[in-house]
Amino acid sequence: MADEQQNTCVDCTQMSDCFRVLSKEELELVGQKMVRLSFRKGEIIAKQGAFATHIMFVKSGLVKLYRESENDQNDLIINIYAADNILGLSSLFGDSIFHYSVAALEDSSLCLIEINIVRELVGRNSDFSVSVIKRLSRNNLLAYEILYAVTHKQLNGRMASAMIYLAREVFESSGFTMPLSRKELAEFTGMSVMSAVRAMKDLRQNGLIGSENGRIEILDMERLEQISKFG
Amino acid sequence: MADEQQNTCVDCTQMSDCFRVLSKEELELVGQKMVRLSFRKGEIIAKQGAFATHIMFVKSGLVKLYRESENDQNDLIINIYAADNILGLSSLFGDSIFHYSVAALEDSSLCLIEINIVRELVGRNSDFSVSVIKRLSRNNLLAYEILYAVTHKQLNGRMASAMIYLAREVFESSGFTMPLSRKELAEFTGMSVMSAVRAMKDLRQNGLIGSENGRIEILDMERLEQISKFG
DNA sequence: GGAAAAAGTTGAGCCAGATCATGTTTTTGA
DNA sequence: TCAAAAACATGATCTGGCTCAACTTTTTCC
């Protein structure tokens, strides 16, 4: 964690649509209660159990949101977020404790915004609160989707779903550099590391995805979706 | 589905805290765009894939929110809601399609409120939108909790978690009449019917819960929580 | 009120996926 | 630059939980 810098926000060129609805005055308010931080790959951005004092806007990079395991050291990766996403919204009005951790998957830059100012914005700017509700809703439906996958699909189907999700939702491209280690891939799909390796091997051998030194290419989306649905 | 009746809302004695923040004028507006319906046990209240034209307030009774399976006939029960809960909020601002079904677990009475008026309320009453955000956040965190349970705990642990959840969150009492069939219990905990039966048998035989003709009693909450955590 | 249907129970066997063991490749850092 | 550590890969074995099968109990509805 380094490279701290105050930011005015008003003249920020890469702000989220969430903040685009704010007035100039409100943006200045945010700027005063905001700090921009750089995180190296692997660094923890928010710790499960800690006080939720801020929300996190991903300015650049890639982060994972995950739940830590109380027994073993197998976490559960709930979601992957690229730039332009906001994390921590589900802790806005609850017990003010993070019920998940967030860590950088690659070198990332985030804006941490004090939670009080965000609460205030929800109160005074209805466009902003609509935006918050939209994001929470999306996360909700996605969680249901994953829950269904984990309970009803088997290994290859879950891995296929994960590949499709990464391509479509995270990278918005049929090819991408795999940001997850095998262990993380296992934690994302709810299987053991060995099973994750085998599932990836299967998809590759059947010509569904290409995989060369860390670069993933979706080769046959149609069949991949078939497996994702019925595997 | 029967017993349709228009309702003024203004003089409703059992409204949700969500609506308590509305002005008299806003409540009248809701009343005009609302209809109260009775559902018999088993009846479907909202159908996955249908247009989301309304949100649902549970006035009395008990309902399940579940995802239908595309292949077999094993659904996934995501949550159980007693009176005073609102369902359908995660479809407020998305593609306007229900991504889940809702059905009555026992005879229930619900107020169906047009989604447009709810959207409008979010826009003009910030206390209302805070209330919506709170509910969405709770659902979010709960989904993460369940996701963790399904991937990291085994049969008895998941069943113990389900019993604790029903007692604490749904019925707010250590004793309750089991509203779920064995099949539904299996769909709620992500296991087969036979495994659900065995898990319940296990909990009963070990003196953790009492179970006589449909009545569940939590006998040893401490040990039950142990199993829920490490089982 | 009684037959048919649905729900619940229990044991036996099987299989998907976890674990174990072992070797290879890549990354890290002194 | 090179050795130690971490990540990756793969075959062998084991097991938790699913499926199958057979039976009992409860509910449904003519």
- A69 exposed, middle or buried (CB, 10 Å; 0-12, 13-18, 19+)? middle
- Which pLDDT belongs to residue B115? 96
Q: Does at least one atom of strand D sit less than 7 Å from the CB of A124?
A: no
- Which pLDDT belongs to residue B8? 67
Per the CB < 8 A criterion, the answer to whether A231 and A203 are in contact is: no
Q: Does at least one atom of strand D sit less than 7 Å from the CB of A41?
A: no
- Which pLDDT belongs to residue A112? 95
Q: How far apart are CA B191 and CA B189, in angstroms?
A: 6
- Which pLDDT belongs to residue B101? 95
Q: Which of B86, B35, B36, B34 is nearest to B58 (CA)?
A: B86
| Minimal Cβ distance to B70: which of A67, A94, A229 | A229
- Which pLDDT belongs to residue B125? 93
Alpha helix segments (H runs only) across chain A: 17-20, 24-32, 115-124, 126-152, 155-165, 182-189, 193-205, 221-230
Nearest CA in chain A to B118: A130
- Which pLDDT belongs to residue B79? 97
- Which pLDDT belongs to residue B12? 78
Tens of each residue's pLDDT in chain B, 231 residues:
444 444 567 777 777 777 888 888 899 889 999 999 999 999 999 999 999 999 999 999 999 999 998 777 789 999 999 999 999 999 999 999 999 999 999 999 999 999 999 999 999 999 999 999 999 999 999 999 999 999 999 999 999 999 999 999 999 999 999 999 999 999 999 999 999 999 999 999 999 999 988 899 999 999 999 999 877
In chain A, which residues have pLDDT < 70?
1-8
- Which pLDDT belongs to residue B7? 55
- Which pLDDT belongs to residue A7? 55
Residues lying close to strand D (Cβ under 7 A), chosen from 152-211 of chain B, are 154-155, 190-192, 194-195
Backbone angles phi, psi at B135, to 5 degrees: -65, -45
